[in-house]
Amino acid sequence: MNKGRIKPSYRLQAGDLVRVPPIRLEEPKKVSPNEKILNNISESVLYEDKRFLILNKPRGLAVHGGSGLSFGLIEALRVLRPEAPFLELAHRLDRETSGCLLIAKKRSALRTVHELLRNNQIDKRYLALLKGEWTGGERNIEAPLRKNTLKSGERIVRVANDGKSALSRFRPLLVRAEASLVEVKLETGRTHQIRVHAAFAGHPIAGDEKYGDVQFNTAMKQYGLRRLFLHARSLQFEMPDDGQRINVQAPLSDELKTVLRNLDMRF
């Protein structure tokens, strides 16, 4: 400070000359997803044009690196397509959620999608297997959500009056005494929204280790479920500049189909 060292307690004053010494940064580690992951991503393409790429994201793969992960789907996709000048996530899915994931191949396309999302002009629908018998037909769950961080550092979302507004539309498809298959349409895009709203409604999602029911999850393992039963089923939107209509559906994995068959749900 002013060509001399100062104590941390010093308070800056107008006219002070501050010098920050150079800091040596580690070289970023190279992303090295294995060949199996690259093949899975390559085979999961549902739709592609000059502006977008839509994948059927595999469960268990984070959409991006961080929080102890050296890479995610977007980093692996860039390795897979080194010639692509621009690849960015247009939205996100939880690590354990599978299904439609939209990637922008142009910065202009990314801006357009973000604008559509802000105006709720992208129709996003999910399939979820819920605990118990769903009653009352189609139902809106509108409950504000707030992010919290536990002492352990784990992030969790809870219903709270001072949270951000959130609306999910639940429509039952197949109902049994033990479990119900529903379609969920998101009207807002909050973190963990479907998972928290389902638990708030008294019907947590099968296989949800954060917001779910332990006994129900254990029971579902007998039917072959080894993951969160939440799948981004479809994406539908219209480009405002040329009217191009994009409507893409992601098929359920064989694992989830087997669970439904074992529950005697013909879907």
**How far are the Cα atoms of 2, 16, 21, 164, 238 from residue 5, in angstroms, in the given order?**
8, 13, 11, 46, 59
Domains of the chain (ranges; CATH) run 31-119 (3.30.2350.10), 124-267 (3.30.2350.10)
Residue 193: name the closest of 216, 163, 236, 214 by CA. Answer: 163
Residue 200 CA to residue 166 CA, distance in Å, equals: 12
pLDDT score recorded for residue 28: 54
**Residues known to be catalytic:** 94
Mean pLDDT, range 14-22, rounded to an integer? 89
Report the range of poorest mean pLDDT among 95-104, 150-159, 189-198: 150-159
- Quick check: 179 pLDDT over 60? yes
Helix (H) or strand (E) holding 35: helix 35-42
**Sign (positive/negative) of CA torsion 154, 160, 165, 168?**
positive
Residue 247: name the closest of 58, 46, 57 by CA. Answer: 46
What band does 91 get if pLDDT is binned at 50, 70 and 90?
Answer: very high
Beta strands in the chain (DSSP E): 45-48, 52-57, 88-89, 98-104, 123-131, 139-142, 145-149, 155-159, 167-175, 179-186, 230-238, 245-249
Residue 204 CA to residue 223 CA, distance in Å, equals: 17
- Quick check: 31 pLDDT over 60? no
CB neighbours of residue 80 within 10 Å = 15
Structure tokens at 249: 């559906």
pLDDT score recorded for residue 122: 95
pLDDT score recorded for residue 5: 86
Mean pLDDT, range 212-220, rounded to an integer? 97
Using a pLDDT cut of 70, give the percent of the chain over it.
96
Using a pLDDT cut of 90, give the percent of the chain over it.
78
Mean pLDDT, range 59-72, rounded to an integer? 78
CB neighbours of residue 59 within 10 Å = 21
